[in-house]
Structure 1
């Protein structure tokens, strides 16, 4: 059983609610090592996505993700817009005109999103960025899929791995973004992009239940 455009739309709307709920937390995480704008930027972007989806009524999962992508890229500044926008755009491109997202497609979508983020931000594992949450999430999704998990199970495994990956950034020296200017002073701080990545995956997993 795959996820239709309507279900993917609901998942994105649920993610918008989670971003709004954690807006202040993300702002404070970013205040410690960056511009304090991650939570505000991401929240503004997802509010705009919800509005765009309501106006467009997309008919395929890929169309839903493309609207999310173009909205983030056009409406959100800082790193969040280009990185998440690219992630959603790569995912939308991978889906094409498929009518549903099944387990196989989901794994491909997550992998495409990761590759998009890495291509855009040039970050690798250990740089203390959202890649440190997304990379283990994709790996966990692949393992879960091979083990016979359904879409909800694959997303739950990805979210749990993203949590652990995000937590790992606390002990890392940031090598990308504004946090990299702090050098070893960034140690002890959770990367806001890694945290928001985990939050989004948890929202998608909850929506898929």
Structure 2
């Protein structure tokens, strides 16, 4: 990935966000505010805004600035967490003009780092982290693959991780108020992690 194909990433992302808006809102309404689909759409629109104003080739800087725009444009719990994640990605990939397979390990680990700093959640707390971590681990195991194949496997790993969140009890946010009633439900934030990975996969399939 480089700055020249970010526009395609955004195009795919906006399509996936619109396609899954109702699904995300319905999942979120089970134990949240019910606005996650709208938030994810705003995140992708923030990427578009950043790209329209961006100059240079530094992909890390792009993600950092996109994170800042998300803070302003998607001021919800998930919006704030994603903003923190993308800003951390930007810090850790600063100066990178082309992202390779190893860089995506850094990408996902940085998302985890930024989200944990902001939200104070841990793996197993039924959050987006419970899908981001398996995705990061998947990339560590596929360093011999090209990015198309690595993302194809990562999407499958993400789908399984999303299903596995049904077995977890929510420890943070509004969902935590429902205590064990969150058992058996998919974590909606984990679906966002899966969709983000699907965007990258579709980008590399082209």
TM range (shorter): over 0.9
Question: 2:14 & 2:177 partners in 1: Cα distance?
Answer: 30
Selected match of 1:108 from 106, 109, 115: 106
Paired position in structure 2 for 1:160: 156
Equivalent-residue separation in structure 1 for 2:91 and 2:162 (angstroms): 27
Q: What is the correspondence of 1:91-170 to structure 2 with a 5 Å cutoff? A: 91-145=89-143, 148-170=144-166
1:159, CA displacement in angstroms? Answer: 2.1
1:1-209 alignment runs, 5 A limit: 3-145=1-143, 148-209=144-205
User: Contact (CA 8 Å) 1:137, 1:160: kept in 2 or not?
Assistant: no
Task: Report how far residue 118 of structure 1 moved.
Answer: 1.7
Shift of 1:202: 0.9
Deviation per residue, 1:76-123 (Å, 9 max, x gap): 122111111111111111111122111122211221111111222122
For structure 1, the 5+ residue unaligned runs are: none
TM-score when scaled to structure 2?
Answer: 0.92
Equivalenced residues, count = 205
CA contact (8 A) 1:33 1:189 kept: no
- The alignment partner of 2:30 has SS state of helix
RMSD value, Cα: 1.6
Answer yes or no: is the 8 Å Cα contact 1:70–1:89 preserved in 2.
yes
Asked whether the equivalents of residues 86 and 117 of structure 1 are also in contact (C-alpha less than 8 Å), the reply is yes
CA deviation map 1:107-163 (0-9, x unaligned): 112211111112221222221110111011100111011xx0122222222222121
Q: With CA pairs under 8 Å and 6+ residues apart, which has the higher RCO, 1 or 2?
A: 1
Higher mean Cα deviation, 25-34 or 92-101? 92-101
Q: Which runs of 5+ in 2 are unaligned?
A: none
